[in-house]
Structure 1
Amino acid sequence: MNWLLPRLAAGVLAMLAGGFLGFIASNVEHTVVWRVLAGGGIGVAIAAMLDTARGYRLINWLRGSQEQQAPRDAGFWGELGYRVERSIRLREQGLAQERLRLEQFLSAIEASPNGVLMLDQNDQIVWCNSVSADHFGLDPQRDRRQRITNLVRSPAFVAYLQQADYPETVNFPNPRGDGTLSVLLRPYGDGMKLVLSQDITDRERNEAMRRDFVANVSHEMRTPLTVLAGFIETMDNLPLTEVERKRVLELMGQQTRRMQTIVSDLLTLAQLEGSPRPAADRWVALAPLLVQVEADARALSGGRHEVSVAAVGSVELAGAQSELLSAINNLVSNAVRYTPAGGRIDVSWCVLEDGSGELVVSDTGVGIAREHIPRLTERFYRVDGSRSRDTGGTGLGLSIVKHVVQRHGAELDIQSEPGKGSRFRLIFPAARLRGAAA
């Protein structure tokens, strides 16, 4: 209220000043009072006009964007302009803070690995993050205010959306048809819905692989155990000659070694998956590895194949010696097993133009059909199960090779045709190579 007294004083002073000027201007005695009153009125009118001008300036400022400073007049209008401007600035600050909080909230939702989709009372899209747009095949801007059931036509999703309550998630193929979505719907606000989506393609694939793995391990172990149990029962119940007894013990030993091989390969896979990657500063000479690989291949072949291992000079690879030896041995062992007698197995090394190194294991064996090649590195996957067991394979060798290759930053390339043999290439990056010679 500090503007009130100056405003009253200014009005009184204007009236007195006008009256005094009117008295000075009067010449006739009987007109003195009227002239004093006229002068006072004129003074008040002038004060009112000045006051109106200040108010007009404030109104013009209020009609505008209020970006400029309010008029800084004295008295009532100056105080009013200051108060209005302060209120506007405080409101703008509050709106800016709310806008910032909203942007941070939406950014947090945008960074979520799950899809978030907001629907209004009519199931129209209010907002969605990029993950949800990718899950449902939406455009976050173009599809806003569109009815979700016009864009996502999966019968399972539409039926789930039309339920009265949503106790559990629903799974259905995503609109692209290359995966599976898990969707959970939660109502909020006044009839609005929050749709949370998650891509569970990898989870389902891993779960299927786990089930297959358990089934395959059980099957692989059950076969030799059944054979052992049958031989033990035979030796216990039937009188066997010395020759028959030795034959039974030999077959039991074969099945025991088969189980030991399976367990050993499983432990190797578990170790590869659970241990850190090999250091890039530990160098392994390739030549001694190939010498050992050649000796193992010749022992496994028993002279039935022609085995050729090229000289590699002083080449060294960065990594773990035991893992590299295991990977190369698995490839050469497979080549020996699946190449008929009289065939040829070659192991060669060369340096490519980009500085990377290529280790190739090729054979003239039975070959592999094209449709089987993408799945060869799966655990226990067999092109011909009965033939694999006859040759002593466990179905885990190429899976071990794949893990070793990945841990050394290398690549595995498989080329094969039925009846024309196979060619397995291990391509090591230049950074894990030294002393290389073409």
Structure 2
Amino acid sequence: MWLRFSSFVVFMAAGAAAGWWLRGWPAACGGIMLAALAWWLVDVWRALRVLRSLRDGETAALPSMRGLWGEVADRLRRLRRAEQRRLEDSERRLQEFLEAIQASSNGVMLLDAEGRINWCNPTAASHFGIDIERDRDQLIGNLVRDPNFTSYYAHPDPNRNAMVTGSGDSAGRPVRLAVRLHAYGEGRRLMLSNDVTAVEQAEAMRRDFVANVSHEIRTPLTVLTGFVETLQSLPLEEGERARYLELMAQQASRMQTLVNDLLTLSRIEGSPPPGRNEWTPLAALTDDCEDEAQALSALLTAGQGAAHALHFEPAPALALAGSRTELMSAMSNLVSNAVRYTPAGGSVTVAWQLLAGGQAEFAVVDTGPGVAPEHIPRLTERFYRVDRSRSRETGGTGLGLAIVKHVVQRHGAELRIQSTLGKGSRFAIVFPANRVRQAAGSAQAVQ
């Protein structure tokens, strides 16, 4: 401001001096007026330069000058740079926010007041089978035709979810989505979706598990209760009493077996994966399985004349890494299942085989009734039985193959099932090469 006043005074003094030198005092007054006009024109010209730059939006090209307008131009440049930095920062934060939403495992979709799709992340596009480029500005009601969604969209409630069927749903692979709408802006809506298929399946498995356990325990308890009441209320001969007590012992043993299997399954699921510090010779595992199989076969075929033909081929001189208890549980379950489901007089063959790449296969082959192809994928489910009456007759709990599946997974192995209805089955566990080595004291090498 002081510079501006100084320049004005200088202009006035120069005009007065020029007029005085030319014509005296009258000319000096005219010189002052002409100097004032010239100063004003220069000032207006400088102002117009600043305004022209502002009008063109080129604040970065504001003229560099001194004086008031120079300071104005300089301040405008600084304000423009500060604004640009704020815009860049806002743009960066917005981009980071959008990247976070893009990477979210939940579906996010923005709808306008009429229900048209403005934007959605890849998860939402996958949930509803939407192509964001193709389906942008399409009505969401035309793309998602689930009746539950239609009803929920007509009367949205931000405090509850609508359960709808997702894209790719099929009988073999159900897809269930939890959808919720939130209002924002002027009639706009934020739609969130979450894949709850696994949660619903887990809940269904939990309900089935509780129902199956209750059913499996209720049956022997009912038998025990009936026999106890009979023993308490009726005078029985010694032979009848002994027979009732034997039946009660069988039912108690069945419940004990069920509880033991449940505890085994719970322990396996809740414990850390087995390491490779404990090595068990294959021969020891095979011998234990053979002893159990012979005892079980003798029990099941007692009084039937023909026993099972059990063939246990010699195990190679190899050792297996992992939990011996778990390995024994898995192998004995496969062998006992083969014995239970093979009629008296049938054969069960157990053998180890060294596969290419150093893998070891434990296989159990029986001549039982076999399993239909549609049942094979579900055999490892808890309490799943192809023939419930046959399972109960042989004392099975329905948890054996579930235990086998978990042991196999924990040891990085693979369970292979082959079966032909009416001809028999082959159950095999293939252990990875890094869990197989030469047994201590043996000269046989792993090929």
Change (3 A) 1:10 1:307: same
1:205 aligns with 2:177: no
Are the aligned partners of 1:152 and 1:175 in contact in 2 as well (CA < 8 Å)?
no
Deviation, 1:383, is 0.3
Q: 1:267 aligns with which of 263, 268, 272?
A: 263
1:284 aligns with 2:277: no
When the two chains are superposed, the root-mean-square deviation of aligned CA atoms in Å is 2.9
SS in structure 2 at match of 1:279: coil
1:13 aligns with 2:10: yes
- The TM-score normalised by the length of structure 2 is 0.86
Are the aligned partners of 1:135 and 1:174 in contact in 2 as well (CA < 8 Å)?
yes
Deviation, 1:144, is 3.1
Q: Once the two structures are superposed, what CA deviation does each residue of 1:144-172 show, in whole Å capped at 9, x if it has no partner?
A: 33221121111221121111655532212
* Greater Cα offset, 236-245 or 359-368: 236-245
Structure 1 residue aligned with 2:410: 407
Change (3 A) 1:356 1:19: farther
Query: Unaligned stretches of 5+ in structure 2?
Result: 299-305, 439-444
Structure 1 residue aligned with 2:347: 344
Q: Which amino acid aligns with 1:7?
A: R
Q: 1:89 aligns with which of 66, 81, 91?
A: 81
C-alpha distance in structure 2 between counterparts of 1:86 and 1:7, whole Å: 21
Change (3 A) 1:44 1:351: farther
How many residue pairs match? The answer is 430
SS in structure 1 at match of 2:221: helix
C-alpha distance in structure 1 between counterparts of 2:268 and 2:410, whole Å: 8
1:59 aligns with 2:33: no
Deviation, 1:369, is 0.3
SS in structure 2 at match of 1:354: helix
Change (3 A) 1:164 1:408: closer
Deviation, 1:310, is 3.1
Deviation, 1:22, is 7.2
1:129 aligns with 2:126: no
SS in structure 1 at match of 2:207: helix
Change (3 A) 1:423 1:237: same
Deviation, 1:82, is 0.9
Q: How does 1:164-203 map to 2 (within 5 A)?
A: 165=157, 167-177=159-169, 178-203=174-199
* Greater Cα offset, 136-145 or 269-278: 136-145
Change (3 A) 1:351 1:73: farther
* Greater Cα offset, 212-221 or 57-66: 57-66
Deviation, 1:426, is 1.1
Q: How does 1:60-75 map to 2 (within 5 A)?
A: 60=53, 63=56, 65-66=58-59, 68=60, 70-75=62-67
Q: Which amino acid aligns with 2:238?
A: E
Change (3 A) 1:147 1:241: same
C-alpha distance in structure 1 between counterparts of 2:71 and 2:352, whole Å: 90
Structure 2 residue aligned with 1:326: 329
SS in structure 1 at match of 2:4: helix
Q: Which amino acid aligns with 2:277?
A: D
Q: Once the two structures are superposed, what CA deviation does each residue of 1:235-258 show, in whole Å capped at 9, x if it has no partner?
A: 333333333222222222111111
Q: 2:136 aligns with which of 144, 149, 160?
A: 144
Q: Once the two structures are superposed, what CA deviation does each residue of 1:158-209 show, in whole Å capped at 9, x if it has no partner?
A: 1211116555322122243231122222223322222222222112211211
Change (3 A) 1:65 1:124: farther
Q: Which amino acid aligns with 2:384?
A: Y
* Greater Cα offset, 271-280 or 348-357: 348-357
Deviation, 1:69, is 6.2
SS in structure 1 at match of 2:261: helix
* Greater Cα offset, 72-81 or 46-55: 46-55
SS in structure 1 at match of 2:315: coil
Are the aligned partners of 1:15 and 1:44 in contact in 2 as well (CA < 8 Å)?
no
SS in structure 1 at match of 2:317: coil
Q: How does 1:195-234 map to 2 (within 5 A)?
A: 195-234=191-230
Q: Which amino acid aligns with 1:223?
A: T
Structure 1 residue aligned with 2:441: none
Structure 1 residue aligned with 2:368: 365
* Greater Cα offset, 85-94 or 266-275: 85-94
C-alpha distance in structure 2 between counterparts of 1:164 and 1:264, whole Å: 49
Q: 1:120 aligns with which of 87, 101, 112?
A: 112
Q: Which amino acid aligns with 2:271?
A: S
Change (3 A) 1:314 1:51: farther
Deviation, 1:85, is 1.0
SS in structure 1 at match of 2:168: coil
C-alpha distance in structure 2 between counterparts of 1:42 and 1:193, whole Å: 67
Query: Unaligned stretches of 5+ in structure 1?
Result: none
Change (3 A) 1:171 1:161: same
C-alpha distance in structure 2 between counterparts of 1:93 and 1:388, whole Å: 75
